[in-house]
Amino acid sequence: MTRTPLIAANWKMHKTVAEAVQTARGLLERLGGRAPDGRTVLICPPFTAIMAVREVLADTGILWGAQNMYPRPKGAFTGEISPPMLADLGCTHVIVGHSERRHIFGEGNQLINEKVRAAFEFGLVPILAVGEKLEHRQAGLEEAVVEEQLAKGLMGLSAEQVRRLVIAYEPVWAIGTGETASPDDAQAMHAFIRRWLSARYGEETAQEVIIQYGGSVKPNNVDDLMAQPDIDGALVGGASLDADQFARIVQFQAP
Ligand code: PGA
């Protein structure tokens, strides 16, 4: 079993086209013009900057993707973006079920499941984000909440699809707050997720699933997080907006 770590930038609703190009170029410069060996690097800009970022990143080995989509190929869905539109831009991945989508925009597990399935249908790898709120953790419910998000989010998928899936464990209380789960707490949840996958889809499949950690990942904590056996990458918000910081995160040192 070898899981290639996936370090992904989630730029959220930040950056004009010019700013996005500048950050992508800055990152590339700091990485010596190419994605480093032994890790996958992905940038998810806002929709408006995907084209421009693609031009900067084409043929560098660094991938680009989207932060959201609507799970229909086309139609009367004003303001939405479809999976084939993203595939057409060369996107490889799409983030689905981010906690901001769940909690600000009211997305439920059923819609998120439709998005996961639509991503696979149109050749995109979904990054399914799951994670508990602070009140759940304080009540000892974090595993139950994550288990429900997984069970409903992955409904109807084959083991073959699950094998290619990316899961991002992002405790809501750690997103954008500067609070990170301790490496031990994060590892415990990642191991729980992998055990859950193993029970449902078999150990071989579970061992192939990339499980990223997200929530205030920074240059000064990425090495300790990535040292955990079941943490296979990072989904980075705030620190990914800065080329210096994100380059350092991409260049994490695993023991
Ligand atoms: P953060 O965001 O790194 O700013 O905490 C992570 C995320 O929301 O994906």
Model confidence pLDDT, tens digit, residues 26-85: 999 999 999 999 999 999 999 999 999 999 999 999 999 999 999 999 999 999 999 999
Closest CA to 225 of 195, 198, 253, 192: 253
> Is ligand 1 within 6 A of the CB of residue 217?
yes
> Is ligand 1 within 6 A of the CB of residue 131?
no
Max Cα–Cα distance, the chain, nearest Å = 51
**pLDDT for 176:** 84
Q: Atom 1 in ligand 1: which residue has the minimum CA distance?
A: 237
Q: Name the pLDDT band for 177 (thresholds 50, 70, 90).
A: confident
Q: What totals of helices (H) and strands (E) does the chain contain, helices first?
A: 12, 8
**pLDDT for 168:** 98
Distance of CA 248 to the CA centre of its chain: 18
**pLDDT for 156:** 97
CA of 47 relative to ligand 1 center, distance in Å: 18
pTM of the model: 0.97
CA of 20 relative to ligand 1 center, distance in Å: 17
Residue 1 has pLDDT above 80, yes or no: no
Closest CA to 171 of 196, 188, 159, 154: 188
Q: Name the pLDDT band for 181 (thresholds 50, 70, 90).
A: confident
Task: Phi first, then psi: give them for residue 166, nearest 5 degrees.
Answer: -115, 135
Delineate the domains of the chain, giving CATH numbers in brackets: 6-250 (3.20.20.70)
User: Average per-residue pLDDT in the chain?
Assistant: 97
Q: Is 236 exposed, middle or buried (0-12, 13-18, 19+ CB in 10 A)?
A: buried
135 neighbors 181 (Cβ within 8 angstroms): no
Residue 170 annotated to the active site: yes
Residue 255 has pLDDT above 80, yes or no: no
The secondary element (H helix, E strand) that includes residue 235 is strand 233-236
